[in-house]
Amino acid sequence: DPENGSDFLAFAVPTMMGEVRRHFRDYGWAVKVPRRLKDLQSQMVRARGELSQELGRAPTPSEIAKHLGIERESVIEATIASSNYTTLSTDVQAGPDAEYRAIGDTIGDVDPNLDKVVDLETVRPLI
């Protein structure tokens, strides 16, 4: 409203920047992570930096939790969730050269005897 007297940029710039940040926060992750863990991520980065300077070493999850005033379990959950920002293709070699198999080749396969187990467990109550 031009009659309001407020400058349009004072409204538009923070609103647009917030929308862009929100977009990257919500859609930039490879795996769906709860928003509270995403929000906690930036607080933990700052806390780690501050505590590393203060302690002269990497802080423990308990020290970060105390610094932020939250539960230790929340720090651990957010740390685990942070690994979901990017993913690794299963077609990538597991080592530096062609001698190594692809990561996908190291993952187990379906047990061929699984159907026998299912059949046996299905029939067992009838015997």
pLDDT digits (tens, 9 = 90+) for 95-115: 787 788 888 887 878 888 888
Q: What is the pLDDT at residue 2?
A: 63
Pick the CATH number of 1-85 from 2.60.40.1730, 1.10.10.10, 3.30.60.50, 1.20.1050.10: 1.10.10.10
Q: Where in the chain is the domain with CATH 1.10.10.10?
A: 1-85
Q: What is the pLDDT at residue 109?
A: 80
Q: What is the pLDDT at residue 100?
A: 82
Distance of CA 117 to the CA centre of its chain: 36
The stretches in the chain having pLDDT less than 70 are: 1-2, 4-6
Write down the pTM of the prediction: 0.52
Q: How far apart are the first and last CA of the chain?
A: 80
Q: What is the pLDDT at residue 1?
A: 59
Angle between helical axes of 35-55 and 61-68 (0-180°, round to 10): 110
C-beta separation of 117 from 110 below 8 A: no
Q: Sign of the CA dihedral 52, 56, 62, 67? A: negative
Q: What is the pLDDT at residue 86?
A: 73
Q: What is the pLDDT at residue 127?
A: 82
